[in-house]
């Protein structure tokens, strides 16, 4: 999917919502546990309830890998289902190795699983990212300024006159294929959004931390939106677990529609369209 097509979907659906599929077997409603594949049954209901109000889905690989082969099958079926309607699919895998290993990870996610993007930790430098940029129309999403409290341990350190996350942003733009980089910028850092946007004016940001972590959708949208919106705002727990009962899918749909309605207003305010 190109950035232009992603922007077209944002305008069509009046939304820049990404639904995080962090499907925890311990939190799946009990009435689904008798299904042959409870994880997929839960995901299917969530996707059917939210697909008209979001432009992206982000399965978190840990919740599938922890279930062994059965979890990978749940993931495969989930990606296949999402593919039936047009959405950007991000494998939240947080890979970060180099060389042949990185090439095999890229092949696994892009050629075998068939997602559009993979989250990557860039700590090992260009060697850990460029293998993912050799796949046409696929994206690497760099962990740059994350939403967790521990992000300050390293990402906010000063490094020769700039903060470490700023250096990552600056250097990443010099790598071959950098036009297919996105960046994770946590909603819990609203004071940094204008600065980060100035450093990478054209890129898309994947923004976690809205909802359960308290990020302000309006503030980050006004500071971080560019002429193509440039934002994919993720919500996981606030949508997936809006209810633990048999009405969980209806509750998820309502939570997604509430965010979509706010995004519609912000698109008109920030882009005038």
What are the tens digits of pLDDT across the range 26-78? 999 999 999 999 999 999 999 999 999 999 999 999 999 999 999 999 999 99
Q: Which two tokens stand for residue 85?
A: 């309607």
Q: What pLDDT does residue 189 have?
A: 87
pLDDT digits (tens, 9 = 90+) for 84-99: 999 999 999 999 999 9
Residues contacting residue 26 through CB under 8 Å, at least 6 positions apart:
none
Q: What pLDDT does residue 188 have?
A: 87
| Planar angle of CA 13, 201, 144, nearest 5 degrees | 90
Residue of higher predicted confidence among 47 and 189: 47
Task: Please choose, from the candidates 233, 236, 241, the residue with its C-alpha nearest in 3D space to the C-alpha of residue 262.
Answer: 233
Domains of the chain by start residue, with CATH: 3-239+256-271 (3.20.20.70)
Instruction: Count Cα neighbours of 145 within 13 Å in the Cβ-side half-sphere.
Output: 23
Q: What pLDDT does residue 190 have?
A: 85
Buried b / exposed e along 12-49 (16+ C-beta atoms within 10 A): ebbbbbbbbbbbbeeebbeebeeeebbbbbbbbbbbeb
| Mean per-residue pLDDT over the chain, rounded | 95
Spatial separation of the C-alpha atoms in residues 238 and 50, rounded to whole Å: 13
Per-residue pLDDT at 211 exceeds 70:
no
User: Mind telling me the catalytic residues?
Assistant: 94
pLDDT digits (tens, 9 = 90+) for 110-169: 999 999 999 999 999 999 999 999 998 999 999 999 989 999 999 999 999 999 999 999
pTM: 0.96
Task: Please choose, from the candidates 76, 215, 131, the residue with its C-alpha nearest in 3D space to the C-alpha of residue 118.
Answer: 131
Instruction: Say which DSSP state 26 is in.
Output: G
Per-residue pLDDT at 213 exceeds 70:
no
């Amino acid at each position: 999917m190109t950035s232009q097509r992603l922007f077209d979907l944002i305008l069509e659906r009046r939304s820049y919502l990404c639904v995080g599929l962090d499907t925890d077997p311990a939190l799946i409603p009990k009435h689904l546990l008798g299904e042959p594949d409870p994880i997929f049954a839960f995901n299917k209901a969530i996707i059917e309830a939210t697909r008209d109000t979001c432009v992206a889905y982000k399965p978190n690989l840990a919740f599938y890998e922890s279930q062994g082969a059965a979890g990978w099958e749940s993931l495969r079926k989930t990606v296949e289902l999402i593919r039936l309607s047009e959405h950007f699919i991000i494998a939240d895998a947080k890979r970060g190795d180099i060389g042949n290993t990185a090439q095999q990870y890229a092949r696994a996610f892009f050629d075998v699983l068939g997602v559009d993007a993979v989250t990557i930790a860039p700590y090992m430098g260009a060697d850990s990212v460029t293998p993912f940029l050799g796949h046409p129309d696929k994206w690497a999403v760099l962990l740059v300024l994350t939403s967790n409290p521990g992000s300050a341990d390293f990402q906010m350190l000063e490094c020769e006159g700039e903060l470490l996350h700023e250096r990552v942003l600056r250097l990443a733009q010099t790598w071959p294929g950098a036009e297919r980089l996105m960046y994770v910028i946590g909603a819990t850092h609203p004071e940094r959004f204008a600065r980060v946007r100035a450093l990478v004016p054209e890129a898309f940001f994947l923004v976690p931390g809205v909802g359960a972590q308290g990020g302000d959708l309006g503030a980050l949208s006004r500071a971080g939106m560019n002429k193509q919106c440039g934002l994919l705002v993720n919500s996981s727990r606030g949508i997936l677990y809006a209810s633990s009962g048999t009405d969980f899918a209806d509750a998820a749909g309502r939570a997604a529609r509430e965010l979509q309605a706010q995004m519609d207003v912000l698109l008109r305010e920030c882009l005038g369209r």
